[in-house]
Amino acid sequence: MAGDKPQVDVEVLKEFEGGLDPRYPERSRLPARVLGYGEISTVFEIEVEGLEDYAFKRLPIFLDSEEVTVYRSMYEEYNRLLEEEVGINLPVYGHAEFVSESGRPIFFIIQGRLPFSGIGNHAIHLLPDEEVLLLVELVLGEMKKVWDFNASQERLEMAVDGQVSNWSIEGFNPENPHIDGDTRLLYMDTSTPFIRVEGAEQLKPDLFLRSAPSFLVWLLKALFVEDVVARYYDQRRVTIDLIANFYKEQRPELIPDLIARANRFFEEEEGHLDIEPILEKDVRSYYREDAFIWILYLNARRLDRFIRTRLLRRDYPYILPGKIKR
């Protein structure tokens, strides 16, 4: 499939959307199996013949076709820049869009489905500890491509979400888990196009607050949104985010060694930038704050779903994760 665009019949996606049960996707008319939960969206497979090779991310967040057009343009440009200008490897990708029976614009991101065991947050439970540290160092090397690209630009700036769950190890064998310095990584999380032009964010963060309860939007916008987006453009903070995520991924014992490896990377690869060394207290503090934000957000969304579906008897179009272990 390398180099090809996904070939997916949009009519099948329309049928899937028409029979979707967001609360229990596996019970939908065309059943779906969740492959992974992010803080905002869900990745799943649609269990229909011909779609076995693809993973889907569904975005029901748009109000009209104009918003879809703007987002599609940014999504395509973000992927192009990452591949052609930055030099980051991506899975096979594409998209589909249509208007649902209810009149809601729906955008599907489609990617080539990657082996479960090779996705970073699963691989770190299979690899020897020293190779988990190497994996993080490889991720830092991929992110360095972004910072080098930004340094070469006058107007344009890009960012990525470097969490280990957003990277897949090409050719990973769970029966003989091993990586080395030549291992190739694929970056999967391109649904949020982090692009700034002359310091101005091109994707309005409000778009991704659409899934937030209306009673919480003002608080999230006032207290968190600008800071959450801005951290992805800061090399030190996005590295702290990468390391802190090992709390969530149940590998906290590796954090001291990960910090040492990251600081060594800063010194050896980015010494001219004088990046302040990361301390263990920085990682703990960051994770506590980050966990608070997302726990608040998810609990509020669950309350919003209850109000809309049980009390107001309205639809709730978003797929929410179950309990997230932190």
Minimal CA–CA distance to 91: which of 187, 179, 172, 184?
187
Contact 251, 293 (CB under 8 A): no
Residues in the chain: 326
The pair phi, psi for residue 197, each rounded to 5°, is -120, 120
Q: How far is CA 124 from the centre of its chain?
A: 18
Q: What is the DSSP letter of 276?
A: P
Partners of 168 in beta bridges: 119, 186
- CATH number (1.10.3470, 3.30.360, 3.30.200, 3.40.50) of 10-112 reads 3.30.200
Q: Residues 229, 81, 40, CA angle at the centre, nearest 5°?
A: 35
CA 233 from centroid of its chain's CA atoms:
15
Task: Give the integer Cα–Cα distance in Å for 89 and 79.
Answer: 10
- Of 206, 28, 204, 13, give the one whose Cα is nearest residue 97: 13
Task: State the Cα angle at 74 between 73 and 79, rounded to 5°.
Answer: 105
Residue 174 · residue 126 · CB < 8 Å: yes
The neighbour count for residue 278, using CB atoms within 10 Å, is: 21
Going from N- to C-terminal start, the domains of the chain cover 10-112
Sequential pLDDT tens for the chain (326 residues): 444 788 899 999 999 999 999 888 889 999 999 888 766 678 899 999 889 999 999 998 899 999 999 999 999 999 999 999 999 999 999 999 999 998 999 999 999 999 999 999 999 999 999 999 999 999 999 999 999 999 999 999 999 999 999 999 999 999 999 999 999 999 999 999 999 999 999 988 778 777 777 777 777 666 666 777 888 999 999 999 999 999 999 999 999 999 999 999 999 998 888 999 999 999 999 999 888 877 887 888 888 888 888 888 888 888 887 666 66
Q: Taking the CA atoms of the chain, what radius of gyration do you get in angstroms?
A: 20
Please give the Cα distance from 251 to 254 (Å, whole number). Answer: 6
Spatial contact of 326 and 291, defined as CB atoms under 8 Å apart? yes
Phi, psi of 199 (to 5 degrees): 85, -5
CA 230 vs. chain centroid, Å, equals 15
**Rounded Cα–Cα distance for residues 260 and 270 (Å):** 15
pTM for the full model?
0.91
